[in-house]
Amino acid sequence: MARQHARTLWYDRPKYVFMEFCVEDSTDVHVLIEDHRIVFSCKNADGVELYNEIEFYAKVNSKDSQDKRSARSITCFVRKWKEKVAWPRLTKEDIKPVWLSVDFDNWRDWEGDEEVELAQVEHYAELLKKVSTKRPPPGMDDLDDDSDSAEATST
């Protein structure tokens, strides 16, 4: 079976470049972030192998980059080597693959927004951590028992 590319959204911030590989119910996920490229592969719910390799526009700090998996996608936070330098595109070459799009829901001019960006990154990472952390179900001790409420109304 031939490999396909995963639909990928990206946006730029002063310290990070964010990429979202849009694959629902992914399995066998592998993300390799190097100083000049990222290699992503996984299988989707139908067992189709997806593979993306992107040569970055500029050097990144691979050691201070990370990825988070959710049920709908895999998000990568890639730390720029040179902060506060806007990337006009994600790829080294001036081409736009059909599977790569700008995430206009998150894109904005960010000059002077470092504190806001850091708060958003921390908030997003915390949300992803909560989603991926399995917790025991909540206690149901505070729920009324029907037999108690029936006795209370009959007395």
Indicate whether 1 pLDDT > 90. no
Cα-based angle 16, 67, 63 (whole degrees, multiple of 5): 65
Position 130 scores a pLDDT of 74
- Dist CA 50 CA 121 (whole Å): 27
- Dist CA 99 CA 77 (whole Å): 19
Greatest alpha-carbon span in the chain: 80
Residue of 38, 7, 44, 5 lying closest to 22 (CA atoms): 7
3 state DSSP class of 134 = coil
**What proportion of the chain, given as a percentage, has pLDDT over 90?**
62
The region of weakest confidence among 83-87, 121-125, 140-144, 147-151 is 147-151
Which residues, at least 6 apart from 96, have a Cβ–Cβ distance to it below 8 Å?
89
For residue range 33-85, list pLDDT tens digits in order.
Answer: 999 999 999 999 999 999 999 999 999 999 999 999 999 999 999 999 999 99
Position 119 scores a pLDDT of 75
Indicate whether 108 pLDDT > 60. yes
Give the model's confidence band at 139: pLDDT under 50 very low, under 70 low, under 90 confident, else very high: confident
3 state DSSP class of 12 = strand
Indicate whether 138 pLDDT > 80. no
Residue of 16, 23, 84, 21 lying closest to 56 (CA atoms): 16
Position 107 scores a pLDDT of 80
Mean pLDDT of the chain: 86
CATH 3.40.50.80 assigned to 8-102? no
For residue range 90-103, list pLDDT tens digits in order.
Answer: 999 999 999 999 99
What is the pTM (predicted TM-score) of this model?
0.70
